[in-house]
Amino acid sequence: ALLAGNTVILKPAATTPLTTLRIGELVKDLLPPGVLNIISDANDLGGAITSHPDIRKVSFTGSTETGKKVMAGAAEALKRVTLELGGNDAAIVLDGVDPKEAAPKIFGAAFQNSGQVCIAVKRAYVHESIYDAMCDELARLADAAVVGDGLQQGVTLGPLQNKSQFEKVLGLIEDARTQGKVIAGGGRAEGKGYFIRPTIVRDIEDGARLVDEEQFGPVLPVIKIKDGEDAVRRANASEYGLGGSIWSKDLDRALDLAGRMDTGTVWINKHAELAPNIPFGGAKFSGVGNELGEEGLAEFTQQHVINMAKA
User: Active-site residues: which are they?
Assistant: 84, 118
Residue type for position 271:
H
Alpha-carbon span 126 to 223, nearest angstrom: 6
Secondary structure element (H or E) that encloses residue 9, with its range: strand 8-10
Non-local (6+) Cβ contacts of 211 within 8 A are: 123, 204, 205, 221, 223
What is the SS3 assignment for 116? coil
DSSP assignment of 265-276 equals EEEES--S---T
What is the SS3 assignment for 7? coil
Secondary structure of 162-209 in the HEC alphabet?
Answer: CHHHHHHHHHHHHHHHCCCEEEECCCECCCCCCCECCEEEECCCECEH
Non-local (6+) Cβ contacts of 86 within 8 A are: 63, 64, 118, 214, 216, 240, 242, 285, 286
DSSP assignment of 134-146 equals HHHHHHHHHHH--
